[in-house]
Amino acid sequence: MGVVGGEKFQLGTVGALSLSVVSSVSIVICNKALMSSLGFNFATTLTSWHLLVTFCSLHVALWMKFFEHKPFDSRTVMGFGVLNGISIGLLNLSLGFNSVGFYQMTKLAIIPCTVILETLFFRKKFSRSIQLSLSVLLFGVGVATVTDLQLNAVGSVLSLLAIITTCIAQIMTNTIQKKFKVSSTQLLYQSCPYQSLTLFLIGPFLDGFLTNQNVFAFDYTSQVVFFIVLSCLISVSVNFSTFLVIGKTSPVTYQVLGHLKTCLVLTFGYVLLHDPFSWRNILGILIAVVGMVLYSYFCTVEGQQKNAEVSPQQAKEGDSAPLISDSLNKVENGGGVVDDEPLKVPMWSSKYSRA
């Protein structure tokens, strides 16, 4: 049963990673057409619509009994949903107040910040091999994407807040699923209304401040409406795969996957949209790919070593998951994630739930 369960989890992880990559690259291309070509630059409001459509889709899926509703601590769900909404708003503000290069540095800083938080609050250990592979990855993405670095006080503070809230939200995504034994679908279904409401309330003001335009006064042509609907439909897959990947792997692995998407978007932009492309972009992407391969390889090797040294019972405590394969011995059973040991909740989650 252990071997069969491991195979099921591995297939599930590969499927989640593939779905995340395909859906994310698709929505970036769709939104680029919507914003660059059609002038619809209301990113935060659009995200609130994404989450609302996702919730409605999951509600239909629940009605059709594709998954079971599993209520748990309402304060945790509310806090988690609001925090996710705030982190998205802060990332958009960071882009508005900073140069594109500094915004890319902000996104790169999420991985080391996540590593630090998991080390401090979860006492999770990252080997030097893993740290080296992540450094190679970040260096490659930095070479490929970071151009100008214009600093300002307000933008720097917003970037710092965006990094912290994003890291905490992604760690909570993983922690909540394990602590309350809920699946990614169940967590997404319950948190979506809070995320959507948060962004729906702040979105029009935030977008108006950044673009000097009113989202409700925009000229909604049939072409604009088509791309908005298409973007919302793709977002269902994006949101679902995000929770699925973080729940099955780790927040760090999800960030590594995010940089893979960045490299793919740059490549597709050059091939399909004829975006400017230089040897620096190519070199950076190649270095980043080397870092991703090393990360996957070292995670696989360390997972195999851990399984060989400890009993299967102890091996279920969890570790970072690679991009291609996974050595963790967990299975999504029914509606919840099976885990023998409840995770300790870090200090920052005490205001949302009581352990």
pLDDT tens, 319-340?
444 443 333 333 333 333 333 3
Across the chain, mean pLDDT equals 78
Q: Is 89 part of any domain? A: yes
Q: Is 110 part of any domain? A: yes
Q: Is 258 part of any domain? A: no
pLDDT surpasses 60 at 48: yes
Domain limits for position 220: 2-128+150-246
Instruction: Report pLDDT for 21.
Output: 83
Lowest mean pLDDT among 63-77, 92-106, 155-169, 313-327: 313-327
Q: Is 71 part of any domain? A: yes
Q: Is 277 part of any domain? A: no
pLDDT tens, 194-240?
999 999 999 999 999 989 999 999 999 999 999 999 999 999 998 88
Q: Is 135 part of any domain? A: no
Instruction: Report pLDDT for 52.
Output: 94
**Considering the chain, what percentage of its residues have pLDDT values greater than 90?**
31
- Taking residues 22-26, report their average pLDDT: 85
pLDDT surpasses 70 at 6: no
SS3 letters across the chain: CHHHHHHHHHHHHHHHHHHHHHHHHHHHHHHHHHHHHCCCCCHHHHHHHHHHHHHHHHHHHHHCCCCCCCCCCHHHHHHHHHHHHHHHHHHHHHHHHCCHHHHHHHHHCHHHHHHHHHHHHHCCCCCHHHHHHHHHHHHHHHHHHCCCCCCCHHHHHHHHHHHHHHHHHHHHHHHHHHHCCCCHHHHHHHHHHHHHHHHHHHHHHHHHHHHCCCHHHCCCCHHHHHHHHHHHHHHHHHHHHHHHHHHHCCHHHHHHHHHHHHHHHHHHHHHHHCCCCCHHHHHHHHHHHHHHHHHHHHHHHHHHHHHHHCCHHHHCCCCCCCCCCCCCCCCEECCEECCCCCCCCCHHHCCCCCC
pLDDT surpasses 60 at 290: yes
Instruction: Report pLDDT for 349.
Output: 35
pLDDT tens, 131-141?
898 898 888 88
Q: Is 133 part of any domain? A: no
- Taking residues 286-299, report their average pLDDT: 84
- Taking residues 279-301, report their average pLDDT: 82
Q: Is 252 part of any domain? A: no
- Taking residues 280-293, report their average pLDDT: 83
Q: Which residue has the higher pLDDT, 276 or 331?
A: 276
Q: In the chain, how many domains are there?
A: 1
Instruction: Report pLDDT for 323.
Output: 44
Q: Which residue has the higher pLDDT, 9 or 151?
A: 151
Instruction: Report pLDDT for 312.
Output: 52
- Taking residues 157-172, report their average pLDDT: 92
